[in-house]
Amino acid sequence: MRLLLGVDTGGTFTDFVLYRDGQLKTHKVLSTPHAPEQAILQGLADLQLDSLAPDTDFYIVHGSTVATNAVLEGKGVSTVFITNRGLGDMLSIARQTRRQLYALQPSSPRPPVPASHSLETGGRLGADGSVVEALSKDDLDLLVQQVQRLKPAAVAINLLFSYLDDRFEKAIEAALPENLFISRSSAILPEFREYERGMTTWLNAAVGPLVEGYLGRLGKGASHAQISVMQSSGGTIAAEQAGKQAVHMLLSGPAGGLAGARFIGEAAGCQGLLTFDMSGTSTDVAMIDGDLQLTIEGRIADWPVAVPMVDMHTIGAGGGSVASLDAGGLLQVGPESAGAMPGPACYGQGGQRATVTDANLVLGRLRAEAFLGGGMRLDRQAAVDACARLAEPLGMGVEQLAAGIIRLADEHMAQALRVMSVQRGIDPRGLTLVSFGGAGGLHVCALAEALGMQRALVPVHAGVLSALGMLVAPRERRLSQTRIGLLAEIEEQELLAEFEQLVQQGQAALIEEGVQAESIQVQRSLDLRYRGQSYTLNIPWQDLTATALAFHQQHARRYGHRLDLAVELVNIRVALQSPAVEMALDAPAVQQPGEAQVQVEMVGLDSPVPVYARPSLAAGQRLTGPLLITETVSTTYVAPGWACEVDELGNLMLSRKTA
């Protein structure tokens, strides 16, 4: 018997999806941010997975926020940054761009590396790979002395043009003490642009020891399981290898959500998806059109991260987002979150400030007795009291204040959806809005209306879709190498040989974690641009002529024109995947249409609305809003003017009634 468990650690809840004997089981526990593995081990105990027979084939895929939170909170380990002489301020100077272009006294961002921890040395290459300044033994001896004096936990090495020749970076690594966590830019990101490469390498070093320690503790607590970790690109990596590649985990959880949304969307026959994942802390918005959309221009907090990651927009609006009054007395929602402890006021854990969850409870959209399937009863009076503290200085009623909180949260999320659609020239009216995350179903209709959309999908297991997505994600490696030159002047056989070197590296890494060589699928691509441009388009590799033609066509589609200029190659890329275990979702077990459990009053509606339990709904059942649909991990509010139909897999297909 094989057990598959997807685990998504969020800011408020840790979600579990267990796949056993063709059946799915979901579970949630409150997260333990100080030691995330404790919530996971608690979930294993709750699901009776902590004492399995020794011969059980138990596989865990985990999405971790450890790396993300360390970067967002500035709590990485003490890290030394080593670069060439004269470049010690590289990460502080960055791209010399100003956040506030017209501000006369702009604020200066904090430097990522203190001057005392930025060390300069020899080993400088030219753009053609020639040695400009050698790396001497005296250089190495001095570096070792400086590092020993500073006593860091990690070291990031980023020398100029190391992607052409990595011998100097390797020499520095070999000279340093073995107990240090060391990141080399030539191993983490062998690409041009020294600032982005340096930042990515530094981030990997700063969070790597934290990730290694966390995964080590989790591995000891779940020693009977094989553990993999979700990467930001939508594929998984073995936990034993993940620590050294910690920077690839910065969007671990959100990538799982998109993998789950794609899986459900394909099963439901929907194409062209605009997704929003509303959790307790934040909302992630993305587009899915076939494959997951990736970017190498992502950012975490103030820093660029140039490794492939899912292309999404994140805002601080979630169920736990705190409502407050600004200095001018205006109502604000987020980005601060109440987190897991104390959480929203209605959780009864000492929270005093009103949140989006409290507002939904006050408005009647959440059922106090049905939260987490009845496993956690919400305190409505505590939510009312929290809202009242804000309503009084505004001269508003509690229910009016709660409605205002919801409208503000909806507008924040609608604007994020516009960033990923309208601002990219995509008309959202032809797309399907996919809602998931524990809080998403309460807002899906309002957001669809704000964007003029007619269709929405609330997937089966929407409240734990990120955890489900981890089970259907492939094992994956993505490798790249800068190779600048005019495409027409490159020998095709030479390019194929360079592809093959990357393929062999990726295959070796996958085989090391137990993947069968014959199951590995390889995709090759090139980053191309017109000569003189700064940015590239990624084009699947065919041959030199066909790939160049595809670039011209893609440029015309993206920007509305093509140029009569030479095409320049910048990077070569390979993606290697081993397909995930095939999983099939069962149809709803019930045969007869479910009946409403109760009728409840909701603020703003003249008549009571029915409340249905989602497990009681049959395939093909059609309902007309307004109504509530409750399940163990989330609640869906079908607003007036909307209809809901249950498809053959149990997904809720929402459609807006036309006049």
Q: What is the pLDDT of residue 324?
A: 87
**pTM, whole model, 2 decimals?**
0.85
Residue 151 vs residues 155, 179, 199, 293: alpha-carbon distances, Å: 10, 11, 21, 41
What is the average per-residue pLDDT within 51-72? 83
Residue pLDDT, tens place only, 258-299: 999 999 998 888 888 999 888 777 788 999 987 888 888 888
- On whether the CB atoms of residues 267 and 587 are closer than 8 A, the answer is no
Residue pLDDT, tens place only, 3-50: 899 999 877 789 899 998 878 888 888 888 888 899 999 999 999 998
Distance (Å, whole) CA 192 – CA 160: 9
Q: Which of 592, 593, 613, 610 is nearest to 601 (CA)?
A: 610
- Looking at 3.30.1490, 2.40.128, 2.60.40, 3.90.228, the CATH number of the domain 475-578 comes to 3.30.1490
- On whether the CB atoms of residues 135 and 121 are closer than 8 A, the answer is yes
Q: Give residues with Cβ within 8 angstroms of 654, minimum separation 6.
A: 444, 445, 448, 455, 456, 457, 458, 638, 642, 643, 644
Of all residues in the chain, the percent with pLDDT exceeding 70 is 99
Q: Is the predicted pLDDT of residue 73 greater than 80, yes or no?
A: no
Q: What is the pLDDT of residue 339?
A: 75
At residue 138 the predicted structure's pLDDT band, cuts being 50, 70 and 90, is very high
Task: Give the highest mean pLDDT range of 6-10, 222-226, 549-553.
Answer: 549-553
At residue 450 the predicted structure's pLDDT band, cuts being 50, 70 and 90, is very high
Give, as one character, the DSSP assignment of residue 248.
Answer: G
- DSSP 3-state of 429: helix
Q: Is the predicted pLDDT of residue 378 greater than 80, yes or no?
A: yes
**Mean pLDDT of all residues in the chain?**
90
Angle formed at CA 471 by CA 468 and CA 477, multiple of 5 degrees: 130
The domain locations on the chain are: 2-71+212-252, 74-207, 475-578, 598-656
Structural tokens at position 8: 């998504």
| Secondary structure element (H or E) that encloses residue 94, with its range | none
Out of 197-206, 406-415, 626-635, least confident range: 626-635
At residue 1 the predicted structure's pLDDT band, cuts being 50, 70 and 90, is low
Supply the CATH classification number for the domain 2-71+212-252. 3.30.420.40
At residue 355 the predicted structure's pLDDT band, cuts being 50, 70 and 90, is very high
At residue 637 the predicted structure's pLDDT band, cuts being 50, 70 and 90, is very high
Does the 74-207 domain belong in CATH 3.40.50? Answer: yes
At residue 659 the predicted structure's pLDDT band, cuts being 50, 70 and 90, is low
Instruction: Say which amino acid occupies 294.
Output: L
Out of 71-75, 220-224, 596-600, 601-605, least confident range: 71-75
Instruction: Say which amino acid occupies 316.
Output: G
Q: Is the predicted pLDDT of residue 74 greater than 90, yes or no?
A: no
- On whether the CB atoms of residues 62 and 129 are closer than 8 A, the answer is no
